[in-house]
Amino acid sequence: MEALIFDFDGVIADSEPVHERAITRVAQMLGVPFTHDDYMTRIIGLDDRDTFRVIAEMGGLVLVPERLAEIVSTKQSFVLEMIDRGEVKAFPGTIRLIRESAQALPIAVCSGAARIEIERILERFELLDLFRHIVTADDVEQAKPDPAGYRMTAEKLGVAPANCVTIEDTPTGLTAAKSAGLKVVGVCHSVSAAEMSRADLVVESSEQITMDMLRSV
C-alpha cells in the first residue's frame, strides 16, 4: 500500500441522512414521490447529477441541462445549511484513522459529492489540510460507479491503482474502485456486509480499521 483513499459520505462523514433529507425535499418540490427505500435502492452512492436524472425518470420528467443544474444547486444549498448547523458528524474512529494514516503515507478523498460540501465538512472536522488531493463529482464527467474518479485520484497521487487501498461504503463506490484496479475495504456504515461482499475486506465500522489491517489488504 503506497496510498490510502477515502470515500467521503458514509465513510468519513455521517452525512447520508443529510443528503437524503435534501434530496427528498427537492423531489417534493418537483412533485415526485420519494421514499427512504428509493434512496437506499436507487440513489445512494450516486452524484447529484445522476441522482436527479433518476428522480426525473421516476416522475416522468424531462430535465434540460440548465434545469438540472438549478436543481443540483438547490439541493446543495439545503445540504450546506445543514452542515453549517452542525448536523453532520464524523463516524467514530474515522478522525483517528485519518490522522494516523496521514503521518504514514499520502491520503486523498475520492467522492461523488460536491467539492464545496466536502471542503466545508473537512474544515469543520479540522482535517482538510491532511489530504494531498480531493477528487469530487465536479472533476469528472462520469461519477461513480464509473472508475474515472479513482483513476484520476491515483494519477494525482502518482501511485499505481493496484498499490492504492480505498475505503468505501456503497456498492456503487465499490464497483468504481474495483473497476479502477484498487483494493477495497468495505465499511458497513450504510449497507449490509452482504452488499459489500466483493470488497477485499469488509468491516462493520471504521472504528475497527487499523493501519496494519489496511496494509494486509
Contacts of 196-205 with C-beta under 8 Å, sequence gap 24+, read 196/168, 196/169, 196/171, 198/171, 198/174, 199/168, 199/174, 205/91, 205/92, 205/93
pTM: 0.89
Q: Please say whether the beta carbons of 176 and 147 come within 8 A.
A: yes
Give the pLDDT of residue 165: 98
Virtual torsion, Cα 70, 54, 10, 75, nearest 10 deg: 20
Predicted pLDDT of residue 81? 96
Q: Could you read off the pLDDT of 8-56 as tens digits, one per residue?
A: 999 999 999 999 999 999 999 999 999 999 999 999 989 999 999 999 9
Q: What is the pLDDT of residues 71-128, one digit of tens each?
A: 999 999 999 999 999 999 999 999 999 999 999 999 999 999 999 999 999 999 999 9
Residue ranges with strand state E in 18-163: 89-90, 107-110, 133-135
Region for 6 from its dihedrals, namely left if φ exceeds 0, alpha if ψ lies in -120 to 50, beta otherwise: beta
